[in-house]
Amino acid sequence: MAVCIAVIAKENYPLYIRSVPSQNELKFHYTVHTSLDVVEEKVSAVGKSLADQRELYLGLLYPTEDYKVYGYVTNSKVKFVIVVDSSNTSLRDNEIRSMFRKLHNSFTDVMCNPFYNPGDPILSKAFNGIVSGMMVQTS
Amino acid sequence: MDQESAAASGGSLISLTDHEQRFYSGLHALCQADAPGKLSSGKVAELFKASQLPPEALHKVTEVCGAKHLGYFGTAQFYIALKLLAAAQSGLPIRLESVSGNLPLPRFAGLKNEPESRHAAAPPGADPQGSAPGSVARNPADRSTFRHLEASAEKKEPWSPPRSPCSSPPRSPLAYRGYPYSKQRNGVDAQIPYDNKPSSRPGAQLEQHSSPSRYVSKPAVEHPAMARASSTERLNQQATMNYSDDDPWRMTAEQLEYYTNQFKSLQPDLGALILGAVAKNFFTKSKLPIPELSHIWELSDVDRDGALTFTEFCIAFHLIVARKNGYPLPESLPPTLQPGFSQREEEQIPDTPESLEPLIVFEDAEPRSCQVDPSGIGRLEPSVATRKQDLQGESLKQDTSVKRLASSREKSTLQLGAFPERPEPHLELDPQMRTKTRQRSYSSTSIEDAIKKAEEPPTPPPRPQKTHSRASSLDLNKLFQQGAPGVKSGWLLPPALPPRPPTSQVPHFLNVSEQASQAKVQQPNFADFSHFREEEESSVKLEEQGPSSRFGLSSEDLTSASKQDVSGTPHSQAPQKPIRRKYHPESQNLETGPPPPPPPAMPFPPPAKPSQKLLSRQKREIQMAIRKNRETNAVLRRLNSELQQQLKVVHKERVTLESQLELLRPLAST
C-alpha cells in the first residue's frame, strides 16, 4: 500500500516513478530524490564487508511525520524506493520486503526483454500492473 | 412478347450453376408465394431491397426479367431477376445479356438466409469459374503481399463466423481485388486470401456501402445476411470484437508450419531456444513499434528466461501477425494462445464455434474450403458454415473448425497436436528453473536477516552452498570470536547441514570442525574448547526459550541435561562424553592435536554417586544422546571431508599466491 514507488538507475536518474495521483506528486519526487542520499550512505557502509553479505533490503531510510521511506538496492546498483503513509501502521517489515521482492522480480522481467534497453524509462505494462497492485487503492 | 421472351430467356438464360441453382431456389422458397409459381411480391420486394441496389436498378431488373409484364414473379422471372441483381451488384448493366455470364450470387443484406447459407456453402466450392481465375491471379498477388510483411505472412482472420450466405464467391473480380488493396489498413493483406474466397464479393459490396475500416468488413457483409440488419460496419466491428479473443488468437496448422520454418531459419533445432537478441532482430523486421514489440515479448516469454522456445516463438509471431492486421494487443495471453492451447482447443471447440475463423491464411487454401462439407454445416451453426465457405481464404481456420467437425484435416490436427507437446517440457522446466534462480537471488538477504534479527526464525536455506563457502565459515568464526550468542551459530549452522535433527551439539561440532579447518589460519579458535562448552550451554539455554523445531529434540535433551546439570554435574558431563569421544577422531583428521577438551580432564564424578533413579534416567538420556551424536557424527564426517577439500584448495591457492609474491618481491626491491 505504497503511496509512491520509484525505480532509480545506477546513475541516479529515475527509470520509473509513480505516485498516487491525489497528492502533490512533485513532493514525492523530491522525497525520493532526497532519499537517494540516504541510500548511498547505507550502501557505502555495507559495502565494506563482503559483497554476498550485502543486504539488498535497506529498510527504513528515514521517516517523516507524514510518511516513511524504504529502500532496496539491487546488485547492479538499481534502487527501488517505496514511500508509504505513516498512518498505515499495519504495514510490517515483511510486507515491505515482499513488495520489494515483487518489484525486483518484475524488474528483472523487464530487463530480460530484449526490446528494452537498459537506461530507458520502464514502460512495461506488466510492471505497471504490479506497481498498481501495490499502490494505495484509495486515492 | 416480352413475357415470352422473358420466359424464353428465363428458360434459356437460366443456366444456373449448381450452387446458383440452389441459392436461387432457396431464395425462392423464402419468398414463397401466394400462388404456386407466383412469388409473393412483398417478399420479393424485400429481397430486392436487401440487395442494396438503387431503386432504379431494381425497377430495371423487374422490367427486364419480365415480371413487370407478368405482374408477378414467376420462378423463371425470379431467377432472372436474381441473376440481374447479381449482375447489377457486380457492376454490369442490367440487361438480359448480362445474365448469361458467370456471376456471383446476388447479395442480400439483412436477410435471414438459412437456405442461402446452405447454398453458400456449396457455392463457394462450386463457384469456380469466376473466382478461379480471379483467385489464381490473386494468389500471387497475395503471396507477394505476404512476403512483404514477413512476419505477417499469416494473418488471422478476425471475423468470425457470421457468414452470410452471400457468400457466393463471385465478385467482380477486379472490383474486389482492387478493393482490399486499396483498403489496406493494417494489413489488408490478410484479406487478400479472403478475396480469393467468395466472400470477397459481398465484402466489396459492403465496403462500398460503408466505410469499413477493417478488412473484416467482408465477413461483416455476411453477417448481415445472417440476419443482422445492422450496417456492415457495425457488424464487422462487432464480429471482430467478439471474436477477437478467439479467432485471431488461434493458430492454424499452416501458420504453425510457417512459424516452424521461420524458427528453423533462426535456430535449426526446434527444441532449442532462440536468444533474445536474435529474436529481437527478427521481430524488429516486422516494423512494429518497439513498445509494442516489447509488450509482445512480455506476453510470449512465458517462462521469463530471456529466450524463446518454439512455442513462445509461435506465440510471439502470432501476436505480431495479429497486430499487423490491426488487432489490438491483449493485456494477457488469450487462452487459445497459451502454451497448452492444443489441449484446450478441444474444449473450446464447443464453446466457440464461431471462432472457427482463425486466421489469416497466408496462402489461399481454396480447395479446402470448397469442401467444407455441407454435413459440417449442418453441425455447425450456419454462420460458421457460411463463413467457411465464404472465406475460403480462411480455410486454415476452418481447418480447425473442420477438424472439430471431424472433417478430414488430420494433418492440421496432427500438426497442432505435435507442436505443443514438445515445447511444453521446456516450459515446465523453465519456470521451475526460473523460480529457483529467483529464490537464490534473495538468499543473501535472508541470511543477513537471520543474523541481524534473531527473533525471526531462520528461513530454511535454499542456500546451503553459500553457507558452505569459506566466506561464511569465516563469518562463523567471527561470530564465535565475538562470543555471539549460540543462537546465531545455532541458526546459521543448521543451514549448512542438511536439516536433520541437529542437536545443539551439532552446531558445536560444526563450529569446531570449521574452526579446525581454519586451524591453519586461526589456531587459537580451534583449541578453544572451553569456548565450545560455553556455546553448548548458552545454546541450550537459548533453546529452552525455544523456537526451532529442528532443535526440538535436542533441546529437550539438553534442557533435561541442563536441569540435571543443575542437580548434578555428572549428568552434564555424561552427554559430553560422547562429544569428547567424537572429537578425537575429528581432531585427528584435522591434523591438529587439539588438547582434549577440558571436560575430559574434568574429574569423572562417578555416576555411582547419584541415586538409582537418576542413574537410569541418565542412562536413557545417555543412550539418546549417543544415538544423536552418532548421527551428527556421520554428518560431521561428511562435512569434514568437504571442508578438508576446501582446505586443500585454499592451501594450494595460498601456495601459488606466496610464490607469486616471491617472484614479485625481487622486482619490487629492484
What pLDDT is recorded for position B248? 64
B470 pLDDT band (50/70/90 cuts)?
low
Share of chain B above pLDDT 70, in %: 29
How confident is residue B163, by pLDDT bands cut at 50, 70 and 90?
Answer: very low
Per-residue confidence (pLDDT) for residue B90, from 0 to 100: 75
- DSSP designation for B73: B
The predicted model gives A20-45 an average pLDDT of: 82
Whether B295 sits inside 8 A of A124 (CB atoms) is yes
**Could you report the per-residue pLDDT of A42-84, keeping only the tens digit for each?**
877 765 555 544 567 887 887 877 788 888 888 888 888 888 8
CB contact at 8 A, A29 and A92 = no
Q: Which residues pair with B39 in a beta bridge?
A: B73
Q: How many C-beta neighbours within 10 Å does residue B581 have?
A: 13
pLDDT of residue B395: 45
Whole-angstrom Cα distance, residue B423 to residue B443? 30
Tell which of B340, B366, B397 closes a domain: B340
Instruction: Match 471462432 to its residue by C-alpha cell.
Output: B355
Chain B residues within 8 A of A128 when measuring between CB atoms? none
Residue contact B471–A50, C-beta within 8 A: yes
Residue of B595, B605, B599 lying closest to B535 (CA atoms): B599
- Looking at residue A97, its pLDDT comes to 86
Residue B447 belongs to a domain: no
Question: Is residue B304, in this structure, part of any structural domain at all?
Answer: yes
Per-residue model confidence (pLDDT) at position B268: 78
Q: Does B475 touch chain A (CB under 8 A)?
A: yes
How many beta-carbon contacts under 8 Å exist across A and B? Answer: 60
Domain limits of chain A?
A: 2-134
| CB nearest to A112's CB, from B304, B444, B471 | B304
Residue B258 lies in a domain: yes
Regarding predicted confidence, which is higher, A33 or B404? A33
Domain assignment of residue B273, yes or no? yes
Which residue has better confidence, A56 or B550? A56
pLDDT value at B14 more than 50: yes
Longest CA–CA separation in chain B, Å: 142
Q: From CA A91, how far away is CA A87, in angstroms rounded?
A: 10
Of B430, B338, B288, nearest to A112 by C-alpha is B430
Give pLDDT, residue B670: 59
Predicted pLDDT at A49 = 54
The pLDDT confidence band at residue B610, using thresholds 50, 70 and 90, is low
Spatial distance between the Cα atoms of B215 and B165, rounded to a whole number of angstroms: 18
* Residue partners of B103: CB distance under 8 A and separation at least 6: B83, B86, B87, B90, B92, B130, B170
Contact B103, B123 (CB under 8 A): no
- Using an 8 Å CB-CB cutoff, list residues of chain A that contact chain B: 50, 52-57, 97, 101, 104-105, 108-109, 112-116, 123-126
Average model confidence (pLDDT) for chain A?
A: 80
Domain boundary, last residue among B59, B82, B99: B99
Which residue among A50, A53, A109 places its CB closest to the CB of B304?
Answer: A109
DSSP B601-654: HS----TTSS-HHHHHHHHHHHHHHHHHHHHHHHHHHHHHHHHHHHHHHHHHHH
What is the complex's ipTM, to 2 decimals? 0.79
Domain that residue B317 falls in: 253-340
pLDDT given at position B652: 95
Residue with cell string 505497471: A128
Q: Hey, which CATH number is domain A2-134, 3.30.450.70, 3.40.640.10, 3.30.565.10, 3.40.50.720?
A: 3.30.450.70
Total domains in the fold of chain B = 2
Specify whether the CB–CB gap between B141 and B166 falls below 8 A: no
Q: Residue B39: what pLDDT?
A: 63
Q: Which of B340, B357, B390 is the last residue of a domain?
A: B340
- pLDDT at position A74, please? 86
Residue B61 lies in a domain: yes
- The angle formed by the CA atoms of residues B93, B200 and B415, to the nearest 5 degrees, is 160
> Which sign does the torsion angle of CA B32, B37, B41, B45 carry?
positive
Q: Sort B234 into a burial class: Cβ within 10 Å, 0-12 / 13-18 / 19+.
A: middle
What amino acid occupies position B151? A
Interchain contact B433–A (C-beta under 8 A) = no
Cell numbers found for residue B25:
431456389
Q: pLDDT tens digits, residue range B190-221?
A: 444 434 444 444 434 444 444 444 444 444 44
> Strand, helix or coil at B185?
coil
Find the length of chain B. 670
pLDDT band at B656 (very low <50, low <70, confident <90, very high): very high
Instruction: Spell out which residues of chain B touch residue A108, defining contact as CB-CB under 8 Å.
Output: 304, 438
- Min Cα distance B475 → chain A (Å) is 10
Contacts of B444 in chain A (CB under 8 A): 52-56
- Chain B residues with CB-CB distance to A55 below 8 A: 444-445, 448
Among the partner residues B290, B297, B442, nearest to A101 by beta-carbon distance: B442
B144 vs B326 pLDDT, higher one: B326
CA distances from residue B553 to B309, B500, B511 in whole angstroms, order as listed: 49, 11, 20
Nearest by CB to A52, which of B279, B298, B444? B444
Q: What CATH code is carried by the domain that includes residue B273? A: 1.10.238.10
Q: What is the mean pLDDT of residues B112-125?
A: 43
Asked if B441 has any chain A CB less than 8 Å from its own CB, the reply is yes
**Environment class of B634 (CB within 10 Å of its CB; exposed 0-12, middle 13-18, buried 19+):** exposed
Is the confidence at residue B469, as pLDDT, over 90? no
- Does the structure show a pLDDT above 60 at B442? no
Using alpha carbons, list the distances in angstroms from residue A88 to A2, A4, A137, B71, B262: 9, 14, 13, 85, 54
| Cell triple for B314 | 509461435
Mean pLDDT throughout B370-390? 44
What would the 3-class secondary structure string for B386-451 be? HHHHHCHHHHHHHHHHHHHHCCCCHHHHHHHHHHHHCHHHHHHHHHHHHHHHHHHHHHHHHHHHHH
More confident residue, B442 or B639: B639
Model pLDDT, residue B247: 61
Q: Per the domain annotation, does B522 fall within a domain?
A: no
B295: chain A residues, CB-CB within 8 Å: 124-125
pTM greater than the 0.90 cutoff: no
Q: In the predicted model, what is the mean pLDDT of chain B? A: 57
Q: Does B374 touch chain A (CB under 8 A)?
A: no
Q: Is B295 on the interface with A (CB under 8 A)?
A: yes
**What pLDDT was estimated at residue B225?**
43
Whether the pLDDT of residue B115 is over 60: the answer is no
